[in-house]
């Protein structure tokens, strides 16, 4: 796999909290190739955000990271902060869910983009200003020149997210992580931002990890999907393969719970009971057992390994779903 850009293998992230250890990420393995879009899907607390922050080296000191994160030829786990800083921005950049909280409300948009540019490049104020304008045009912000002089509160949510993307692109990263980057936006704006990300990715040859709870979004935009549950990867495959041959009952449950336009009004959704497990109680077996329709004693006692059971299709389940017969 020479074309691999990012290789995460057996990643574990522990948080110490009230004398308990919460294992937020538990043996996660996946790769991202150059220019590829990988969707990491899961509910709150599945470890999708924590694992991507580990890739950025943005975890708090209470976190203990073990395993390996290789970006190009560099091992990121245990990397000193100074080297990590070089990697952030140029190697990997991140866009977060809430653009309002990620931008400084007291600084003009232009100054915030210039700051990002001058962190990575030794350039004059004028040079940085020109580059800032270029970036705002790249993210197709209307009236880009005037926006440079505005403050974040003068922009709409969608425009602020475009500014965040411009900042993330300042040092031409090879990998962009979009962490629920469109969740807080309206559907029409979400569609615009996703189209923008897809377009930028193709033009700049950048890889994209989209972290989301929305399998629908993954279906439309990702080349490959990794589904996480309780800190583990539970299923991974190229998007079309995954949606055509869902194996892990958790993935099935996520798909079935999405309200679809074809559904009749007042129809019941297929909702599985229960909630994700408490990650501080590290119980043996598959973490999905209490909510799984296929669970047996085997599942309660032994966790299934995450392995390639079919070509280019990995999952962790003792009793995978069969292909659905099309209705």
Partner 1 sequence: MSSGGPLLDVRHLVQEFEVRAQGGVRSGVVQAVSDVSFSLDKGETLGLVGETGSGKSTLARSILQAPRPKSGEVLFEGVDLVTLRGREMLRARRQMQMVFQDPFGSLDPKWSVTRIVEEPLIAFRTGARDERRRRVTEVLELVGLDPGRYADRRPRSLSGGQAQRVAIARALALDPALIIYDEAVSSLDVLIRAQVLNLLERLRSELSLTYLFIAHDLALVKQVSDRVAVMYLGKLVEIGPAESLYREPLHPYTVALLASIPNPDPTAPRAPAGQTIHGEPPSPIDPPSGCRFRTRCPRAQDVCAAEEPPLRKLANGHFAACHFPVSRDPLQAAGREPARLAGGHHDPATTN
Catalog residues that contact partner 1 under the rule CB under 8 A: 43-44, 142, 150-151, 153-154, 156-159, 186-192, 194, 213-217, 219-221, 239-240, 243-244, 253-255, 257-261, 263-273, 275
CB of 90 or CB of 140, closer to partner 1: 140
Cβ at position 313, least distance to partner 1 in Å: 14
CB of 8 or CB of 136, closer to partner 1: 136
Cβ at position 134, least distance to partner 1 in Å: 21
CB of 128 or CB of 253, closer to partner 1: 253
What is the rounded CA–CA span in Å between residue 211 and residue 48? 7
Interacting residues of 264 by C-beta distance below 8 A, sequence separation 6+: none
Cβ at position 109, least distance to partner 1 in Å: 12
Cβ at position 27, least distance to partner 1 in Å: 22
Q: Specify whether the CB–CB gap between 272 and 253 falls below 8 A.
A: yes
CB of 15 or CB of 229, closer to partner 1: 229
What is the rounded CA–CA span in Å between residue 36 and residue 222? 8
Cβ at position 252, least distance to partner 1 in Å: 11
Sheet holding 224-229, edge to edge: 92-95, 175-179, 207-212, 37-41, 224-229, 232-238, 313-315, 307-310
CB of 133 or CB of 225, closer to partner 1: 225
Cβ at position 42, least distance to partner 1 in Å: 9
Cβ at position 260, least distance to partner 1 in Å: 6
CB of 68 or CB of 192, closer to partner 1: 192
CB of 92 or CB of 225, closer to partner 1: 225
């Amino acid at each position: 796999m020479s074309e691999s850009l990012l290789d995460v293998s057996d990643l574990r992230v522990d948080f110490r909290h009230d004398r308990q250890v919460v294992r937020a990420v538990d043996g996660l393995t996946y790769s991202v190739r150059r220019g590829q879009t990988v969707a990491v899907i899961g509910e709150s607390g599945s470890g999708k955000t924590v694992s991507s922050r580990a890739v950025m080296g943005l975890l708090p000191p209470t976190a203990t990271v073990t395993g390996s994160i290789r970006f190009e030829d560099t091992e990121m786990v245990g990397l000193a902060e100074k080297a990590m800083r070089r990697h952030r921005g140029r190697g990997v950049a991140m866009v977060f869910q809430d653009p309002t909280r990620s931008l400084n409300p007291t600084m003009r948009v232009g100054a915030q983009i210039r700051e990002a540019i001058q962190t990575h490049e030794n350039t004059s104020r004028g040079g940085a200003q020109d580059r800032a304008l270029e970036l705002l045009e790249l993210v197709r912000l209307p009236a880009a020149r005037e926006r440079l002089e505005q403050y974040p509160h003068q922009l709409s949510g969608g425009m602020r997210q475009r500014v965040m993307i411009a900042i993330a692109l300042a040092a031409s990263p090879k990998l962009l992580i979009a962490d629920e980057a469109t969740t807080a936006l309206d559907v029409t704006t979400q569609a615009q931002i996703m189209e923008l990300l897809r377009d930028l990715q193709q033009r700049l040859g950048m890889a994209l990890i989209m972290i989301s709870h929305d399998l629908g979004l993954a279906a439309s935009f990702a080349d490959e999907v990794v589904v996480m549950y309780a800190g583990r990867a539970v299923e991974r495959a190229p998007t079309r393969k995954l949606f055509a041959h869902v194996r892990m009952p958790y993935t099935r449950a996520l798909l079935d719970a999405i309200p679809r336009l074809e559904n009749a009004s007042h129809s019941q959704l297929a909702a599985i009971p229960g909630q994700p497990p408490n990650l501080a109680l590290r119980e043996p077996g598959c973490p999905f057992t209490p909510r799984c329709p296929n669970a047996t004693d085997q599942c309660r006692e032994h966790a299934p390994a995450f392995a390639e059971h079919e070509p280019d299709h990995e999952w962790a389940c003792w009793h995978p779903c069969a292909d659905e017969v099309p209705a």
